[in-house]
Structure 1
Amino acid sequence: MKALRRTSTATSSPVSPAAASASWIRSLLVVSHSSLSSPSSAPPLSPSPFSNRRSIKSPWSRRKKSKALSRRRWYSLFALDGRFHDGGVKFLKKVRSRGIDPSIRAEVWPFLLGVYELSSTEADRIATRTKKRKEYQKLRRRCKHLLHQLSGNGLLSIDEVNMEEGPTTSDPGSPCSQDFSRRHSFTNEHHYPRRSEIIIVDPNLTDTESSDSDSSYETGPENLEASPEPGHDNHTFKCRRSISIKRDDPVLDSTCAENFATWQRIIRLDAVRVHQEWLLYSPNQAAVSAELAAQRAESVGLRDHELIEPCMVYHAARLVAILEAYAVYDPEIGYCQGMSDLLSPIAAVMEEDYQAFWCFAGFMKKARHNFRLDELGIKRQLNIISRIIKRKDSLLYRHLEKLKAEDCFFVYRMVLVLFRRELTFEQTLCLWEVMWADQAAIRAGIGRSAWGRIRMQAPPTDDLLLYAIAACILQKRKQIVHNHSSMDEIMRECNSMAGQLDVWRLLDDAHDLVINLRDKI
């Protein structure tokens, strides 16, 4: 523009104001036309679901240019008595927008998962740790008491559990019917080696205390649950039997005891098949000695594990102990396959079993609904995802309706294990931390007021995971609409996303959906 002005003033011939104005306008039109017709400017394509951003910036939009919550920053958030200066607002805002440095995750997670209150002092947290440790030890004693009742001759082999067996009932109305199995099939991208050489035995029970003898158990009604079968390309949900245990009843009858023994073996099968990704994030556990690993395995009844790396034996033994304790702690849910996938990252970060247990219990307060027998929790979440897609992209939704896939069952696995199979280990932790920060903000009442929403940059939601899943599908809208003509094809597309997703872009898009649709869903 300055060059044009200099050209106009430098000419020797006089130019009238009208002519100068016309020349100026023509110059602007030429520049504008050339920029629009430039080869580097591609014509606009069909609008993307995320093209119309609002003025509110996503807290994740500049994540890669900023630093995660560091140890120094973490310690600066506390007053002398160990309480957050501002009730935890800055802490949660930082986690939601930038994540957590891996070196302090073990210190931070108990706050996110409700083990510690955001208003607690250091003295409060010391008392909480003491109390939680004792409660976990009591749960473990109850588990050993149960195993002692169920042991019989004390020897159970994993080979007795045929994970390839079909449904245990032929009732067409039961969850084990063919229709139910068909609806619960999806591809598993992780291939878990079989551990048929492992023997499960009842450990020496020498520490049952008087409190155990006072503890009594009752079996509730026998349940049939659908559960995924690890170790195969076709990750099919098989039916299995489980029981509910009430802590105030005398004994388990023989039928329920048999079912409970099978359920115990399933926990062990899952524990030894856990993926090895966690090794890089827990060097202390990765370097565990063979002697210590053998001791831990013996304490939960795992034997003949010489062919397995000590670190994997140690990790599997920890998972068994914690999952058994959780089943006693939450007998309504008990154990369902998939829960080991949620626990493994927590156990990798939290090196003390009781800390890992209570963090897992905090996680499961929300995630437990994924494992309900009636599947109401899963159905509710799939319905929300469907409504998000319908509101955001009517063309995509109509295509799903045409394929009879508007129930969004093709994202069942994403919902069940919270993106654990689609993301890398580190990406999973990043997503979960942001999700936990949202839930912690809601528990603490942060973000309910207009002031709170401004400070947090966006309203926290209990359903951030669902917005992230919807965002993931919307990112694939072109392939789904133009290339896929059945729900099975869409399911394969979803399963092929494993390792291909950008978690921070996903969170950015999920955040935009929250801003635009939260009050409409």
Structure 2
Amino acid sequence: MVTQEKKTCPFTSAMEKFVYTRWEVPYDLNSSKEERDNIRTQKRKEYDKLRRQCRRLLKHSKDGFNLNEVGRISCDGYSGTLTQDTDSPSSEDVVSARESLSSEERSPDIEYSERHSSARLEGVDSARQIPIADASTLDTDSSDSDSSEEPEVSHTFPSMEGTEENDPDMTSKEDSSPSMTEVSSKLHNNEDFASWQRIIRLDAVRANSEWIPWSPSQAAISEGRAHRSAEAVGLKDYDHLEPSRIFHAARLVAILEAYALYDPEIGYCQGMSDLLSPILAVMSEDHEAFWCFVGFMRKARHNFRLDEVGIRRQLNIVSKIIKCKDSHLYRHLEKLQAEDCFFVYRMVVVLFRRELTFEQTICLWEVMWADQAAIRAGIAKSAWGRIRQRAPPTDELLLYAIAASVLQKRKLIIERYSSMDEIIRECNSMAGHLDVWKLLDDAHDLVVNLHDKIEASF
């Protein structure tokens, strides 16, 4: 159980250290300071190479595209370019769920094409990869002022192979990074990156300001520096924003673009900016924030896969938790053809970011990361539960928390709701009204009682 005295979550240097060491590079315990510094320097160079590549692609894309014009680009809510098999019995539910996920994001100045959205759901994927041929010509563009600094990044972008050697758990199917071969094979269409750039900029400008109280140094950024940062990444239409939000938006653009090149199989989908924003509030250096995000996305990237395997697996776990805990509620969901739990789609994709406040999100994520770190340390195989008289660490704590949030509304769902759309609206209305500590207590209770049973079912 979570004790009351621990229910505060200020951003501190300790938090920054935790995020950095958890996600960026797990150093060898016997490494020297010089070796660690060398690794950091190398990682910074790799990030800088990706950023130069982004600037070249941005420059060339301006010849044929107006990055300030949305056109017909849509990412269908948080699932981005994820597709759904329209022959699946739950296809209509997926469409409904996705529409609800994106409804609060739409603003009057953005045109969302239903025709394009339909094509995406049918598996038409026209905005995913970047061509090797086109991109390679950019490396020799002598007009770029950065080209003389150091050799340009190769199209076999840096993988996390070295990291995985130190962390065997990272090689699993649900917790992986793109290999160098995979990255190289996915670079097909330069226009795709231009599409990602447009969407990234729109999402960056729309990012909220919840993070400001927790990052005083970034909140106090000067107007001049903010505008220089915005111009450096080609950000437009930000005059209505205060300097701190302009600076934050520019950092979002820089890192999300770099990630789209680093992992072109996933590219960029709406929702990724929600995952990156808390990291930016903690990390003041872009290259450090980038590698932390790369580590974070090793697991989260499966939320944005085209085949939706990662999302379906997680929704299936939530469904099993509810079924094991509350058969009455589960039978009601079956009657509504909602037992697949697509009504919690958004919660899964952005890791509760939209339902919790900024501070609550960090609290939940820290507990999740601590559980995952305990698993990597082998604690999950020890007598942890008996010794600590609490839930054993689990890699799926988020899913238990999501199931707990639904179970907290069981009476309302059973007595008042007669369609999945109504349940989706109820789940979306939870935003800002959840007690993260009660949620964690309930989630840990579920882990204590159901963990072994759920694990055995897979």
TM-score surpassing 0.5? yes
Distance in structure 1 (CA, Å) of the matches to 2:304 and 2:74: 21
Higher percent of residues as strand: 1
| 4+ residue segments displaced more than 4 Å | 162-168, 171-175, 177-180, 187-196, 209-214, 244-252
CA distance in 2, matches of 1:245, 1:265: 27
The DSSP-based 3-state class of the residue aligned with 1:276 is coil
The answer for the alignment partner of 2:127 in structure 1 is none
Over 3 Å counting, the alpha-carbon distance change for 1:119 and 1:158 in structure 2 is: same
Question: Does the aligned pair in 1 maintain the 2:354–2:431 contact within 8 Å?
Answer: yes
- How much has 1:440 moved relative to structure 2? 1.5
- Structure-2 change in CA distance of 1:194 and 1:117 (3 Å): farther
Correspondent of 1:185 among 99, 114, 123: 99
Label 1:518 to 1:365 Cα distance change in 2 as closer, same or farther (>3 A): same
> Hey, what does 2:68 align to over in structure 1?
158
| 1:245-276 alpha-carbon deviations (Å, 9 max, x no partner) | 97658996xxx222321221111111111111
- In 2, Cα distance between equivalents of 1:458 and 1:513: 8
- The CA distance in 2 between the partners of 1:481 and 1:178, in whole Å, is 22
Matches within 5 A, 1:67-86: none
SS in 2 for 1:462: coil
Q: Do structure 1's residue 104 and structure 2's residue 104 form an aligned pair?
A: no
Q: Give secondary structure in 2 for the equivalent of 1:438.
A: helix
Q: Report percent identity of matched pairs.
A: 58
Residues paired across the two proteins, number: 393
Task: Give the 5 Å matches for 1:46-125.
Answer: 58=1, 60=2, 62=3, 64-66=4-6, 102-113=12-23, 115-117=25-27, 119=29, 123=33, 125=36
Q: Compared with structure 1, are the counterparts of its residues 381 and 216 closer, same or farther at alpha carbon in structure 2 (3 Å cutoff)?
A: closer
Q: In structure 2, give the amino acid aligned to 1:411.
A: V
**Distance in structure 1 (CA, Å) of the matches to 2:186 and 2:265:** 18
Equivalent residue for 2:49, pick from 126, 134, 138: 138
Larger Rg: 1
Choose between structure 1 and 2: higher helix proportion.
Answer: 2
Which of 299, 320, 323 lines up with 1:387 in the alignment?
320
1:286–1:311 CA contact under 8 A, matched in 2: yes
Q: Contact 1:447/1:460 (CA < 8 Å) preserved in 2?
A: yes
* Unaligned runs of at least 5 residues, structure 2: 111-137, 158-179
CA shift, 1:464, in A, is: 0.4
State whether residues 378 and 415 of structure 1, in contact with CA within 8 Å, keep that contact through their aligned partners in structure 2: yes
1:359 aligns with 2:270: no
- The AA in structure 2 aligned to 1:106 is E
RMSD between superposed Cα atoms in Å: 3.4
| Alpha-carbon separation, structure 2, partners of 1:281 and 1:100 | 7
Distance 1:300 1:351, change over 3 A: same
TM-score when normalising by structure 1: 0.68
| Residue matched to 1:228 | none
Query: Equivalents in 1 of 2:352, 2:362: separation in Å?
Result: 10
Q: For the residues of structure 2 that align with 1:117 and 1:355, how far apart are their CA atoms?
A: 14
Report the residue type matching 1:270 in the other structure.
D
Match of 1:441 among 374, 381, 388: 374
Matched, 1:410 2:370: no
Q: Which amino acid aligns with 2:449?
A: N
TM-score by length of 2: 0.77
Q: Deviations over 1:41-76 (max 9, x none)?
A: xxxxxxxxxxxxxxxxx2x1x2x23476xxxxxxxx
Write the distance in 1 (CA, Å) between the matches of 2:299 and 2:186: 31
Label 1:422 to 1:149 Cα distance change in 2 as closer, same or farther (>3 A): same
The answer to whether 1:208 aligns with 2:147 is yes
**Residue identity opposite 2:307 in structure 1:** D
